[in-house]
């Protein structure tokens, strides 16, 4: 399964494009569409939107692979997209150790969906941007369980 255009649109809207390096809300050096700059990377002249799209495609693929590796139940496209966006934003480690994943892998789709809304803080402070993003993922999640057709792919 791959992230749909609707899921990618949510991710791009949430991240926004920046052609120059900046510090994200958590203090990480970032560029493009929310790409965390690695120690081996340098962008002294910034990047174009086309370059950002290429970097984003690789980053999204890594998040897709993490979701596929961690989730043990069938997903709808909306659920997959919401989880890929979640992983892209917070990292695979956050999903791996989450109650969200535990509930989902137990087949508790609605409880997992509700867990998305808990991830709207930076430290002890609620963050408006994260709150909006989690609510958008919640909406994208849509139905609570895949239909038999979706479950068989």
Which amino acids are annotated catalytic?
15
Our CA angle for 113, 72, 152, nearest 5°, is: 95
The sign of the CA dihedral 58, 112, 5, 74 is positive
For residue 140, what are its two tokens? 């994208």
The SS3 call for residue 74 is coil
Rounded Cα distance between 55 and 9, Å, is 15
Residues 6+ positions from 44 with CB-CB distance below 8 Å: none
Residue 36's H or E segment, with its range, is: strand 35-36
For residue 22, what are its two tokens? 């900046």
User: Position of tokens 């690789």?
Assistant: 58
Distance of CA 15 to the CA centre of its chain: 10
């Amino acid at each position: 399964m791959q992230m749909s255009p609707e899921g990618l649109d949510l991710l791009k809207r949430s991240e926004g494009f920046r052609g120059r390096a900046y510090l994200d809300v958590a203090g990480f050096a970032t560029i493009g569409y929310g790409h965390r700059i690695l120690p081996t990377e340098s962008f002294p002249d910034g990047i174009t939107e086309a370059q950002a799209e290429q970097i984003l495609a690789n980053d999204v693929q890594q998040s897709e692979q993490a979701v596929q590796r961690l989730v043990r139940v069938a997903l709808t496209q909306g659920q997959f997209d919401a989880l890929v966006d979640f992983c892209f934003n917070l990292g695979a480690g956050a999903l791996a150790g989450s109650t969200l994943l535990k509930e989902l892998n137990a087949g508790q789709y609605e409880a997992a969906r509700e867990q998305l809304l808990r991830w709207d803080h930076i430290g002890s402070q609620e963050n408006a941007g994260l709150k909006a993003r989690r609510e958008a993922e919640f909406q994208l999640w849509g139905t609570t369980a895949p239909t038999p057709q979706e479950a068989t792919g």
